[in-house]
Amino acid sequence: MRAARALLGIDQQTLAELAGVSLPTIQRMEASEGNVRGIVATLMKVVGAFEAAGVELIGETTPSTGLGRGVRMKERAAVPVAMSAPPTVGKKRSLPRTAD
């Protein structure tokens, strides 16, 4: 879900509004380990919102039927520690002060 949101450039609140579900529901779904968990009707609302926005969700063993470019993982691989840290884009860093 996070990857699909990133493709669209939307936050969790926007996805919740597009799908007609609550923000805490989206937050719980994204916090799921492995497969996204939730009530089937709610999952279908989220899938429908992604599809309406132009994102094709591809199942693990399902071929893509759409046209266009895309990315999918072949298999889960161990992520090195340096790569697992969250990106720092947009975060401000404090620089040490120097005497004038």
Count of Cβ atoms closer than 10 Å to residue 38 Cβ = 17
Task: Assign residue 28 the CATH number of its domain.
Answer: 1.10.260.40
Range of the domain at 34: 1-59
Distance (Å, rounded) from C-alpha 22 to C-alpha 25? 5
Confirm whether 94 is domain-assigned: no
Is pTM beyond 0.85? Reply is no
Confirm whether 92 is domain-assigned: no
Confirm whether 14 is domain-assigned: yes
Confirm whether 51 is domain-assigned: yes
Confirm whether 100 is domain-assigned: no
Confirm whether 83 is domain-assigned: no
20-72: pLDDT as tens digits:
999 999 999 999 887 777 789 999 999 999 999 988 888 777 787 777 766 66
72 with 21: CB under 8 angstroms? Answer: no
Strand, helix or coil at 28? helix
Q: Which two tokens stand for residue 3?
A: 């990857």
Q: How many domains does the chain have?
A: 1
50-62: pLDDT as tens digits:
999 988 888 777 7
Confirm whether 45 is domain-assigned: yes
